[in-house]
Structure 1
C-alpha cells in the first residue's frame, strides 16, 4: 500500500531524510522510532504532502502521493492536533463526512464519539477543547472515512490512559481489517505490543527495519530484552 524509494528531504546542505527506501503492506502495523531530530516527522510530512520532498518517489495504493486518488486512501493524524475554532466536535465529523462523501456517517460518528468519551463534548467549539480532546477529535476525524492507510505521528501524546488503551485496540481492529498503519512515536512501549515491524531512524537514515524478534537476533540481544533496550543499543553514539 505504501512504497518509498530513495526519499530525500534536504534543508540547505543537511539531509533531514537521507535516501530512505521501504514498503508497507496491507494489514501491517509498523512503528517508526528514532531519537529527537532523526527525521520521523519529516518523513511523515513528506509522505502526506505537507513538505515537498527534495527527491525520491512516494507511491500510495499505486498512485503518486500528491494525487487526489492517493489522498482518498489515507488519513494523517499530526503530532499537534489542529481543529477549527468555530466548529463543534460534531461539526468536525460532519465536515469530514461531507468532504470524503461518507454515506450514513452519523452512526459511525456516534460510535467514535462514544469510544473516545466525547459524546458530552459534541457541541463544544474547537477553541474550547483541551489538547487531549483535540487529539481525540483528530483521531475520530481520521477514522471516519475508513481509510486504507493511516499515518499517526505521536498519537498517544495528550491522551488519557483509557484513550491510549482504546487507540491500541483500534490499531488491532484496523490491522485485522487489512489496513496499513505507520505510527511514529517516542513512547516505545505504546507500539511494542501492536507493531508487526519496527523501523528505526537515526540522522535521517534507516538503521533497523524488521520484526522485534529479528532485530534482537541481529543485535545478539536476549529474548528477554525489551524494545527499549534494542532501541538504545541501535541508536547509541559510537564510542559510548
Structure 2
C-alpha cells in the first residue's frame, strides 16, 4: 500500500531525513516512534506532499504520491488540526464528502459526530471550536471519505479520555476492514497494544523496524525501555 525508497529531505545543509526506506502492507497498523526532531512529522509530510522531498521515490497504492490517483485513497490527520473558520462542523464533513464524491455522507457523518460527541456542536463554526474539537472534526473528515491508507500525526493530542478510547477502537475497526494506518505518536503504550509493527526513528534514520514481540525477543525490557535505549546518545 505504501512504498518509500531512499527518501531524503534537507533544510539547507541539514539533512532531516537520511535516505530512509520502508513499506506498509494492506491492513497493517504501524507505529512511528521517535524523540522530538527525529523526523517523524517530516516523513509523513513528505509522503502526503506537504513537504517537497530532495530525492527518493514514494508510491501509494502503486501510484506516485503526488498523483490524483494516490490522493484519492489516503487521508492525513495532522498534529495541529486546521479547520475553516466560517464552515460549521457539519459543513466540513459535507465539503470533504462532496470533494471525494461520497454519496451516503449524511449517515457516515452522523455516526462519527455521535462517536466524538459532536452532535450538539454540528452547527458550530470552525472559528469557535476548541483545539480538542478541531482535532475531532479533523479525524471525522479524514474518515468520511473511506480511505485505504491513513496517516495520523500525534492523533491523541488534545483529545479527552473518551475520545482517545474511541479513536483506539476505530483503529481496530479500520484494521479489521483492511485499512492501512501509519501513526506517529509519543504514546508508546497505545502503539504496543494496537500496532502490528513499530518503526523507531532517530536523527533522520530508522533505527528499528519490527514487530513488538521481535523487538523484545532477546530482552525483558518494556517497549518504552527499548525505545529509550535505541534513541539514546551513545555517550550517555
In the superposition, the TM-score normalised over structure 2's length comes to 0.99
Alignment-derived partner of residue 35 in structure 1: 35
1: distance between equivalents of 2:115 and 2:50?
29
- Structure-to-structure mapping, 1:44-63, within 5 angstroms: 44-63=44-63
Alignment-derived partner of residue 164 in structure 1: 164
How many angstroms does 1:12 deviate by?
Answer: 1.1
2:194 alignment partner, SS class: coil
Alignment-derived partner of residue 82 in structure 2: 82
1: distance between equivalents of 2:180 and 2:104?
24
1:84 alignment partner, SS class: coil
1: distance between equivalents of 2:173 and 2:150?
13
2: distance between equivalents of 1:116 and 1:192?
24
Alignment-derived partner of residue 13 in structure 1: 13
1:192 alignment partner, SS class: helix
Q: Which range moves more in the overlay, 188-197 or 81-90?
A: 188-197
**How many aligned positions are there?**
236
Alignment-derived partner of residue 221 in structure 1: 219
1:108 alignment partner, SS class: helix
How many angstroms does 1:170 deviate by?
Answer: 0.3
How many angstroms does 1:239 deviate by?
Answer: 2.1
Alignment-derived partner of residue 234 in structure 1: 230
List, as ranges, runs of 4+ consecutive aligned residues in structure 1 with deviation greater than 2 Å. Answer: none
1:106 alignment partner, SS class: helix
Alignment-derived partner of residue 174 in structure 1: 174
Alignment-derived partner of residue 99 in structure 1: 99
How many angstroms does 1:13 deviate by?
Answer: 1.4
2: distance between equivalents of 1:81 and 1:22?
27
| 1:167-199: CA deviation from partner (whole Å, max 9, x where unpaired) | 001000000111000000112122110000000
2: distance between equivalents of 1:36 and 1:98?
37
| 1:105-154: CA deviation from partner (whole Å, max 9, x where unpaired) | 10010000000000000000000000000000000000000000000000
1:193 alignment partner, SS class: helix
Alignment-derived partner of residue 108 in structure 1: 108
2: distance between equivalents of 1:132 and 1:201?
27
Unaligned runs of 5+ residues in structure 2 are: none
Alignment-derived partner of residue 70 in structure 1: 70
2: distance between equivalents of 1:105 and 1:181?
22
- Structure-to-structure mapping, 1:177-188, within 5 angstroms: 177-188=177-188
Computed over aligned residues only, the root mean square deviation of the Cα atoms, in angstroms, reads: 0.7
Alignment-derived partner of residue 197 in structure 1: 197
Unaligned runs of 5+ residues in structure 1 are: none
| 1:30-79: CA deviation from partner (whole Å, max 9, x where unpaired) | 00000010000000000000000000000000000000000000000000
How many angstroms does 1:216 deviate by?
Answer: 1.5
